[in-house]
Amino acid sequence: MKFRVRFDLCRWFVIWAALAISGTALASEASEKSLLRNEAVAQLEMAISAVQEAERRKALWIPAAEALDEARAAFDLGEFVQSIELARSARQFAELGIKQLAAPPYRHF
């Protein structure tokens, strides 16, 4: 009888440990997704302001607007990593459009 009680206690401990570990993994996954979502929101906000600034200066490149639209669509689908990458691309394209205004015009001699 003593062996049976110890065996049951060991079995319950193993089950409890497995549940605790899986619960920690689920919490970690949810935390990571929340961090990615927050990063995606921040990148989208920066991309939106950069695209708006480029549009205001009449220097908006089409790839910037397209990348921003794709970033928003990826965010809506919950694809936060893809949304972050596309928002960064949109911001970079918008900044390049603005920098292009400072370049001297092309002259063909």
Residues 15-40: pLDDT tens digits?
655 656 655 555 566 788 889 999 99
- State the total domains in the chain: 1
User: If you search the block for the tokens 């596309």, which residue do you land on?
Assistant: 86
Cβ contact 79:39 at 8 Å: no
pTM beyond 0.75: no
Residues with Cβ < 8 Å from 16, sequence gap 6 or more?
A: none
Whether 109 is covered by a domain: the verdict is: no
Distance CA 70, CA 88 (A): 11
Count CB atoms within 10 A of the CB of residue 14: 10
pLDDT digits (tens, 9 = 90+) for 75-84: 999 999 999 9
Whether 87 is covered by a domain: the verdict is: yes
Whether 9 is covered by a domain: the verdict is: yes
